[in-house]
Amino acid sequence: MQIALLTDRGLERARNEDSCFAKAESELGLLVVADGMGGHQAGNIASSLAVSAAENFWEGLDRSASLAAAESRQAVRGLIIEANKAVIAQSLNYPSRRGMGTTITAGLLCGSRLTIGHVGDSRAYLINNESIKLLTKDHSLLEELIDSGEVRPEEGQNHPQRHVLTRAVGITEDLEVDIFEQELEKGSTILFCTDGLTNLVDDDEILTECLEQPDPQKLAEKLIAVAKARGGHDNITVVVAAGIGGQHV
């Protein structure tokens, strides 16, 4: 398995409020993207704290052992709960940081099983057999409007409420975390990204780029370049794991 991660400030934001993490060893891998809430104080700190929780989790993980499905689910949930505690603690201790928050999408690979924990509107995709599948569901007001039939999916890209989150790390101690599993075929590609990519590049275009560029680092670079060519209005982060089932490099 090959992994790559790349984050870019984009063309309009004063700073990068995205953070990311990706590591793989033996049969285990961890992929994380976090998008600090740009409309709140210190979004970059919130996303950094979320990724620090992921780094601590990885360092404490026994990577010589295989995890059962229940252990993976518990581990990923625990990672996100620790991130939530860290962001809330900073908000309470530093008045200038109150109200900060972040999305997080974290994926723990154990052999061919991917366990995902998800809060917010950063996304996880599975690419295999020349098809793309969105694995996560956005926790956003726009998604609720689409589910209710008030907004058509094709209207979402330019909808004025597309950035309003209904769930984020750091906002409440009683955080609801989506946890689910996906079995992966050998040769699958996993792509995690923030909305700085998906607001400008649709799923079919992501698939096309994945099929044309199998190298994960070059793929990440190309996807970010496409988003920037279309305005780069937001920070853009891409984490790619390709060649699932092969050797970690």
Mean pLDDT (the chain, rounded): 90
Domain that holds residue 139: 2-242
Residue 76 within a domain: yes
- Other beta carbons within 10 Å of 142: 23
Asked if residues 5 and 239 have their Cβ atoms less than 8 Å apart, the reply is: yes
Residue 63 within a domain: yes
Residue 247 within a domain: no
Rounded-to-integer distance, Cα 216 and Cα 236, Å: 16
Residue 248 within a domain: no
Q: Which residues of 69-99 are buried (b: 16+ CB within 10 A; e: fewer)?
A: eeebbebbbebbbbbbbbbbebbeeeeebee
Residue 81 within a domain: yes
Residue 181 within a domain: yes
- With cut-offs at 50, 70 and 90, classify the pLDDT of residue 161: low
Task: Report the helix count and the strand count for the chain, using DSSP H and E.
Answer: 6, 10
Three-state secondary-structure class, residue 55? helix
Domains contained in the chain, number: 1
The conformation of residue 246, written as its DSSP 8-state character, comes to: S
Residue 219 within a domain: yes
Specify which residues 142 forms β-bridges with.
Answer: none
The pLDDT tens digits of the residues spanning 201-234 come to 999 999 999 999 999 999 999 999 999 999 999 9
Model-level pTM?
Answer: 0.92
CATH number of the domain to which 138 belongs: 3.60.40.10
Q: Which residue has the higher pLDDT, 37 or 4?
A: 4
Asked if residues 215 and 3 have their Cβ atoms less than 8 Å apart, the reply is: no
- With cut-offs at 50, 70 and 90, classify the pLDDT of residue 155: low
Supply the pLDDT for residue 26: 77
Supply the pLDDT for residue 247: 43
The pLDDT tens digits of the residues spanning 69-102 come to 999 999 999 999 999 999 999 999 998 888 899 9
